[in-house]
Amino acid sequence: MTKEEQLNIINDAIKQTKSNLKPLGYNLIFWSIVIISMSLFHYFFPQIVQYSFYSSTIYWVSIPILGMVYTTYYNIKTGNKIGYETQLDRVIRIIWGVFGLAWIFTVGISLLYNINPVQDILFLLAIVLIMTGLIVKFHNITIGGIGLLIFTVYTYYNPGINLLLVNVIGISFGMLIPGLSLYLQKTDE
C-alpha cells in the first residue's frame, strides 16, 4: 500500500463521519407538538384540567415525563441504528440532558413555592435553543431561540398575559418551525 493510498483511506474514513441532525429535528418537533397540544387543551378545557387542586400539576408533570421516557427510547434506538456517536452528537445530548434535569428542578421548586414555572422554563429553553443552534451551526434554531428569549422577557413586563397562549406562540416560532426546517433539510451536503 502506497503513502498516497494510505492518505486516501484516512480521508475516506473521516469523510464518512457525519453528525445526523435529523433526530434532533424530530425531538424538537415532538416536544413542540406535545407542549402546544397540552397548552391548547388546557386553554380550551380548563374545567377538565383544573377540576381539582392537584389535577393541573399532575397534567403538566405526568405527560412531559411520559414524553421524556418516549424520547429517551427513541434516541437510544436511533443512536443504535446510526451506529456511532460524534463529539457534536455527544455535546448536544449532554446539553439537552442538562435541560431535562433543569426542567425537573424548576418544576419541583415551583411546586414547593407555588409559583408558575412557565416563564422560567421558556427562558431556559430559549438559552438551550440558542446554544444548540450555535453549536450545530443551524441559524433557524439560533434565531428561533433568540425570538423565544425576547418573547419570554416581554412576558415578564406583562404579568397579565395568558401563559398558555405564550406557550403556544413561543414554542411555535421558537421550536416547531426551526425543528421542522432542521428535520426537512437536505443532509447530502
**Which residues form the interface with other proteins (CB under 8 A)?**
1, 3-7, 9-10, 12-14, 16-17, 76, 80, 82-87, 89-90
Cβ atoms of 173 and 132 within 8 Å: the answer is no
Least Å distance, CB 80 to other proteins, is 7
Nearest to other proteins of 10, 184 (CB atom): 10
- Exposure string over 55-68, b if 16+ CB within 10 A, otherwise e: eeeebbeeebeebe
Contacts of 12 (CB under 8 A, 6+ apart): none
Q: Distance (Å, rounded) from C-alpha 36 to C-alpha 13? A: 42
- Nearest approach in angstroms of CB 82 to other proteins is 7
Which residue number, 17 or 62, has a Cβ lying nearer to other proteins? 17
Residue that the C-alpha cell 387542586 belongs to: 53
In angstroms, give the least distance from the CB of 89 to other proteins: 7
- In the complex, least distance from residue 79 CB atom to other proteins, rounded to whole angstroms: 9
Task: Please identify, using beta-carbon distances, which residue of 44 and 85 lies nearer to other proteins.
Answer: 85
Between 82 and 104, whose beta carbon lies closer to other proteins? 82
The 10 Å Cβ neighbour count of residue 151 is 16
